[in-house]
Amino acid sequence: MANRSARTRYGPIRRMLGMLRAHLGRLVLAVSASVVTELAALALMGTAAWLLARAAQQPPLAALSLAIVGVRAFATARGVFRYGERLAGHDAALRALATLRGRVYDALVPLAPSGLPAYRSADLLSRMVSDVEAVQDLVVRVLVPVSTAVVVAGVAVGFTALVLPPAAVVLAIGLALAGVVVPLLMVSAARRTARRLAPARAELAERHTDLLHGSADLAAFGATEQALTDAERAGERLARLERGTALTTALGGAGSMLVQGATTVAVTVLALDAGSLAGVMVPVLALVALISFEPVLPLVPAVQRLLESRASMRRVLAVLDARPPVAEPASPLPAPGRDVTVELRSVSVRYPEASRDAVDGVDLRLTPGRRVAVVGTSGSGKSTLLACLMRFIEPSAGTVLLNGHDVRDYDGDDVRAVITGVTQDAHLFHTTIRENLRLARPDASDDDLLGALELARLRDWVSSLPAGLDTEVGEGGGQVSGGQRQRLALARALLADPPVVLLDEPTEGLDPQTADELVADLLATTRGRSTVLVTHRLFGLDGVDEVVVLHAGRVVQRGTHADLVAVAGPYQDLWWASHPAPASK
Amino acid sequence: MVGVPRPCGRPIGGVLLNQLARRLLASLPAYRVIALAFTVLAVAGAVAILVQAELLARALADGVLSRSGAEALAGTLALLAGVFAVRAGLSWAQQALAQRAAASIKASLRRRLLRRTQELGPGWLTGQHSGALTTTLGRGLDALEPYFTGYFPQLFVAAVVPLAVLVRLAVADLASAVIVLVTLPLIPIFGILVGLSTKRATERQWRSLERLGGHFLDLVAGLPTLRAFGRARAQAVAVRRTADEHRVATMGTLRIAFLSALVLELVATLSVALVAVPVGLRTLDGGMDLETALLVLLLAPEAYLPLRALGSQFHASTEGLAVASRAFAVLDEPDAHGAADSGRPERAVVARAHEAGAPCVVRFEGVSVRYPRRDEPALDDLSLTVAPGERVALVGPSGAGKSTLLNVLLGLVVADAGRVTLTKADGAELDLDTVDVQELRRQLAWVPQRPHLFARTVAENIRLGRPDAGDDDVVRAARLAHADEFVTDLPRGYDTPLGERGAGLSAGQRQRIALARAFLRDAPLLLLDEPTAGLDAGSEAAVVDATSRLMAGRTVLVVAHRPAMVADADRVVRLEHGRIVGGSDRTALGVG
Ligand SMILES: Nc1ncnc2c1ncn2[C@@H]1O[C@H](COP(=O)(O)OP(=O)(O)OP(=O)(O)O)[C@@H](O)[C@H]1O
Ligand SMILES: Nc1ncnc2c1ncn2[C@@H]1O[C@H](COP(=O)(O)OP(=O)(O)OP(=O)(O)O)[C@@H](O)[C@H]1O
Ligand SMILES: [Mg+2]
Ligand SMILES: [Mg+2]
């Protein structure tokens, strides 16, 4: 993924520039204002020097009046245009930045869930928060300063050439040294570190989230110190890189200043020795030379930023260009209605790098209202099967049919509008119970919410809370108990009320009595809906139409509960294992 | 709690160095040395500026009037070149030093902040947006850089250079010096006024970025859920809104910054014009020689430059200050024990008296826990004694307080009332309130209800509690947890890197890694919170079998819903609404 955008060295920059196209007007404004600002500064010092030198020759006052007006005008122009430049430049940059942030999120959506683990969330966070700022830096610290420097240097050299051509040559050389050679030297010195900065920041962020998300486990296992040390080390690595680049930048800055001094002295020498030159022009040339470096000096940090921006941008582009694990059709079929028949035809799924299929040639047919339970040992592919039904994973073989059409011809969101439910790692967002539930149905009324909570056997608990539905559940649902978390996820799925309900171990973490009652309730309320229930508890499975037993991805047994319990086989083994027969004890 | 930084004191010395800045600088290890170095650099810089202007004025005046040629001025010009070189060197030294200071202060704040989050513990963390904290710790503290590389060294320059220039100007031409003297104070006065109004805007700006980070990390973690309910696209609107809020807030602070820069710039340039024009007129009527006039022209801007630069550096560093105040707010956060950012030395003393490995009696006496913003207590005056080597099963409905009970023992949750004590075989009694938590935890192995797996290899995850364990031990623990089989099936076996939160494994497999982790820990006191959650009956039976072998001779508190696990307990304790309502024998469970 990263390679694709990394192929061309200037690709990232070009694409960043492309993102700025929408703000071209503001950019042009910023650059022109910046050029005017620096030219005004140049003219201010030049005119002032001329004024003094001319005055020393004691001409009539009228000869000076224009210059006096000029000094005042240039002084004002400088301030006003700088203000305009900054406002326009930052506005364009920040707009581009906000847009880019939105696009990063958009690009992540189709990656979830199976494409996301390729990134760490902290890494994504640092792309979203820090790396995207590359586009801002490109405008404010690179684009505007560089174009200004080029114009101002050109004007300064042109002016000098009119007055004293040899001095212009010296000035041109000096400006080229400070504006091109020194930055290029820095590029070669800092390229490697600049490229490593963004990943080092991401690594530090990862160490931080390890500590923030895993703090309980780390503390209980006495591993906090070690994790803190790891984080510190990652911090030191980053600091070393930063120090390296900062010192190079400082060195480059000092080098440019040196060139500035040498050029000014050299121009002065040439001016002093040029017999043909009017005396008044000596200070003018010297000061123009000195001041023309002002916009050129920032090029050193600008180049440094450009290098870092390129590395950061490449990381952002890697996300924008990431190929979703499940492709969406170019022209999807119209969304299916509420009568849904789903069929799996010898579907296999193999995760990348895995040596065997997680789901291996499974057939399944879900006509409207049919209820199927999927059981099997841990790791036998039950959740993978559900992911396949939700079109979160692309089967490596076989087809999934939705109302007779290949599911690949539907828009993924349309598929999930009819086939969804509780996944095994359903996430509770750091917000209120209400907001978490309404995710499934934004227009749900409080009564709807309470109804779903009632079904999930949470209503009494929620009513007992001082803030009721407005209770915050904390980060990752950390402020409610395990079973409450599980049932909130269940209530949410019930609220969505899709024609095909998927339930992945909905009663895990509940006491047996509640679990059994809950399963019975669930099966009763979802009557008429197609249901796929994944469970480790075999109680209540006499209420489903078919039980499918998976082992290592394959269907090893299927039939009704009564049939399966009666014959020797994996299902009977599971049954006895969860019902220790008095005799066996 | 995020985004509500506590007030951090009103500025004492104006915005130049308010209380916050003082506290920030106090974190700088060698503050005095650095301050001294910056002063020396500033003084040297001031001298260089004066000398440079002097030399340049002399050379240029000569060029205009006597035209004696470069040869005659060789000495002056060579000296001038030398001064330029010195100034370049000084700028390098200042930056190098400032960078060092910035790096060390960032590292030290980062370290303290991170440590503090761990002291405040999981209870506090669940109330925080971890994405916001990560943003503060990373990008946020990086924003301190401009403060230390820009504003802070500039303070010294601004204190020294204008004064030096003013003195030299007064010597050269009193009238110009007076003009500068009168206009110069406008800059800091205005700067202070603007600075005060910036603070609020910058805090808003920082908060919006923090919110963006917090929101984003939560969304990324929940993307599969959002997609399952077709809400992922809808959230894009929220993301864009937050991003746009940040843009607007940032533009707000920038507008102030730019406006203040405009005013400062106008004051400075107009003052220069104010100086230059009369000087020119006086040169015209012969009242001033050209060399002095040029010197005044060259020096006058130098008087304003440092203060103007200080203004813009200030604006560049306000974000850093907002972050610093946020960081200090976390450092000042009182923990459950009421102490802020301090090691508890008295605990360390007790720790030494407590040797490892001894089985103890665990006694809860009237323990109550009430979580914030909850009416009902999670544990309500609960008393329970667990004898050494006893295996107690905790059962009860969801939300009864079982996990809370274990968390109290782990020191992850602090009881509001009551005592938890450990009595050793020799009768010595240790109060959980005074014992060193680290030491206590060394006696414990824990399988949490929702184990956290790190994005490391399988083996590293299992080794969490015993980093020095050999490969054999890791495999043995994995076998006991019924995990070896699937682990060896993974592409790289025990060296397979896991995704975040154990992505790449099934739920039951993750659970078994957590079990292996606890088995490897090999501690005298086992706390198991639904150890067989997510396991099929076959795996469960194997794990229960292994656990009961492991439990021999150890004290065990196991939260169990499944009968298989309960069957092995010596005693069953049933919790409801934070109280023990019975139990004692297995039939109380209703297990057939
Ligand atoms: N993202 C993934 N990448 C690679 N392999 C995976 C991934 N998710 C699951 N697997 C593997 O695929 C197999 C099936 O996993 P799945 O989660 O479907 O099992 P399951 O039957 O739901 O198990 P459990 O009862 O423990 O939840 C397992 O061997 C697991 O290790
Ligand atoms: N951090 C917290 N903040 C506020 N309330 C909490 C917090 N943690 C738990 N609670 C509440 O305290 C009560 C007890 O929670 P606890 O996790 O101890 O229950 P439990 O017995 O382990 O339940 P389960 O079987 O569902 O895991 C619950 O009502 C829960 O909502
Ligand atoms: Mg599963
Ligand atoms: Mg619990």
Top pLDDT among B73 and B403 is at: B403
In ligand 2, the atom with minimum distance to the C-alpha of B405 is: 18
Q: Which two tokens stand for residue A242?
A: 């930063």
3-state secondary structure of A401: strand
Rounded to an integer, what distance in angstroms lies between the CA atom of residue A229 and that of residue B88? Answer: 39
Angle (CA) B416-B421-B424 rounded to 5° is 170
For residue B139, the 8-state DSSP code is: I
Phi, psi of A393 (to 5 degrees): -130, 145
Q: Which two tokens stand for residue A87?
A: 């406002």
Which of 1.10.10.60, 1.20.1560.10, 1.10.3470.10, 3.30.750.24 is the CATH number of B1-173+289-295+304-336?
A: 1.20.1560.10
Q: What is the pLDDT of residue B258?
A: 87
Rounded to an integer, what distance in angstroms lies between the CA atom of residue A356 and that of residue A553? Answer: 9
Q: What is the pLDDT of residue B549?
A: 80
Rounded to an integer, what distance in angstroms lies between the CA atom of residue A210 and that of residue A111? Answer: 22
Convert the pLDDT of each residue in B307-336 to its tens digit.
888 888 888 888 888 899 889 999 998 876
- The size of chain B, in residues, is 592
Angle (CA) A385-A389-A390 rounded to 5° is 115
Rounded to an integer, what distance in angstroms lies between the CA atom of residue A156 and that of residue A160? Answer: 6
Q: Which two tokens stand for residue A555?
A: 């269907």
Between the CA of B90 and the centroid of ligand 3 the distance, in Å, is 64
CA distance A238 to chain B (A): 10
Name which of A105, A483, A496 is nearest B239 (Cβ-Cβ).
A105
Place of tokens 């930048």: A249
**Which residue in B417, B431, B446, B425 sits closest to B525, CA to CA?**
B446
Between the CA of B505 and the centroid of ligand 1 the distance, in Å, is 5
DSSP count for chain B of H helices, then E strands: 21, 10
Bridge partners of residue B583, in order along the sequence = B573
Q: Which residues of A touch B500 (CB under 8 A)?
A: 117, 120-121
Across the interface, whether the CB atoms of B73 and A272 are under 8 A apart is answered yes
Q: What is the pLDDT of residue B587?
A: 41
Dihedral in degrees, nearest 10, Cα atoms A436, A439, A444, A445? 20
In ligand 1, the atom with minimum distance to the C-alpha of A536 is: 25
Q: Which residues of A93-122 are buried (b: 16+ CB within 10 A; e: fewer)?
A: bbbbbbbbbbbbbbbbbbbbbbbbbebbbb
CB atoms within 10 A of CB B477: 26
Q: What is the pLDDT of residue B583?
A: 67
3-state secondary structure of B94: helix
Residue B63 in this model has a pLDDT that exceeds 90: no
Mean pLDDT of B409-423: 89
Q: Cβ contacts of residue B352 below 8 Å, gap of 6+?
A: none
Q: What is the pLDDT of residue A6?
A: 43
Name which of B84, B486, B592 is nearest A257 (Cβ-Cβ).
B84
Q: What is the pLDDT of residue B13?
A: 34
Strands B360-369 and B417-424: antiparallel
CA distance A186 to chain B (A): 15
Rounded to an integer, what distance in angstroms lies between the CA atom of residue B402 and that of residue B45? Answer: 68
**Which residue in B511, B355, B313, B508 sits closest to B440, CA to CA?**
B355
Instruction: Identify whether the C-beta of residue A389 lies closer than 8 Å to the C-beta of residue A532.
Output: yes
pTM, whole model, 2 decimals? 0.89
In ligand 2, the atom with minimum distance to the C-alpha of B575 is: 21
For the domain covering A4-321, report its CATH number.
1.20.1560.10
Task: Tell me the average pLDDT of chain B.
Answer: 85
Q: Could you tell me which chain A residue has the CA closest to the CA of B534?
A: A508
Beta-carbon pairs below 8 A across chains A and B: 528
List the domain boundaries for chain A. 4-321, 342-584
Across the interface, whether the CB atoms of B284 and A55 are under 8 A apart is answered yes
Q: Cβ contacts of residue A7 below 8 Å, gap of 6+?
A: none
Query: Which CA distances in Å does B354 have to B358, B410, B440, B557?
Result: 9, 16, 9, 22
Q: Which residues of B touch A251 (CB under 8 A)?
A: 92
Rounded to an integer, what distance in angstroms lies between the CA atom of residue A256 and that of residue A174? Answer: 9
Q: Which residues of B touch A44 (CB under 8 A)?
A: 269, 272-273
One-letter amino acid at B406 equals: L
Hey, is the C-beta of A251 within 8 angstroms of any chain B C-beta?
A: yes
Domain A342-584 has CATH 3.40.50.300: yes
Q: What is the pLDDT of residue B27?
A: 78
Q: Could you tell me which chain A residue has the CA closest to the CA of B59?
A: A268
Residue B351 in this model has a pLDDT that exceeds 50: no
Rounded to an integer, what distance in angstroms lies between the CA atom of residue A369 and that of residue A385? Answer: 19
Instruction: Identify whether the C-beta of residue B146 lies closer than 8 Å to the C-beta of residue B301.
Output: no
Rounded to an integer, what distance in angstroms lies between the CA atom of residue A339 and that of residue A316? Answer: 42
Q: Which residues of A touch B539 (CB under 8 A)?
A: 377-378
- The size of chain A, in residues, is 585
For residue A21, the 8-state DSSP code is: G
pLDDT band of B1, cuts 50, 70, 90: very low
Which residues of B328-483 form beta strands (DSSP E)? 360-369, 379-386, 391-395, 417-424, 429-431, 444-447
Across the interface, whether the CB atoms of A105 and B236 are under 8 A apart is answered yes
Rounded to an integer, what distance in angstroms lies between the CA atom of residue B575 and that of residue A127? Answer: 46
Mean pLDDT of B80-107: 91
Q: What is the pLDDT of residue B345?
A: 38
Rounded to an integer, what distance in angstroms lies between the CA atom of residue B156 and that of residue B153? Answer: 6
Q: What is the pLDDT of residue A583?
A: 37
List the domain boundaries for chain B. 1-173+289-295+304-336, 174-287
Residue B342 in this model has a pLDDT that exceeds 70: no
Q: Which residues of A339-374 are buried (b: 16+ CB within 10 A; e: fewer)?
A: ebbbbbeebbbbbeeeeebbbbebebebeeebbbbb
Bridge partners of residue B17, in order along the sequence = B13
Q: Measuring from atom 17 of ligand 1, which residue has the nearest CA?
A: B506
Rounded to an integer, what distance in angstroms lies between the CA atom of residue A337 and that of residue B493? Answer: 45
Q: Over its length of 585 residues, how does chain A's per-residue pLDDT go in tens digits?
A: 344 444 445 688 888 888 888 899 999 999 999 999 999 989 988 888 888 888 888 888 888 888 888 888 888 888 899 899 999 999 999 999 999 999 999 999 999 888 888 888 888 998 998 899 988 888 888 999 999 999 999 999 999 999 999 999 999 999 999 999 999 998 888 888 888 888 898 899 999 999 999 999 999 999 999 999 999 999 999 988 888 888 888 899 999 999 999 999 999 999 988 888 888 889 999 999 999 999 999 998 888 888 888 888 999 999 999 999 999 999 999 999 889 999 999 999 999 888 899 999 999 999 999 999 999 999 999 999 999 999 999 999 999 999 999 999 999 999 999 999 999 989 999 999 999 999 999 999 999 999 999 999 999 999 999 999 999 999 999 999 999 999 999 999 999 999 999 999 998 888 888 888 888 888 888 888 899 999 988 888 888 999 999 999 999 999 999 999 999 999 998 888 776 544 333
Ligand 2 pocket residues where CB is under 6 Å: A 478-484, 509; B 123, 126, 371, 374, 378, 398-404, 449
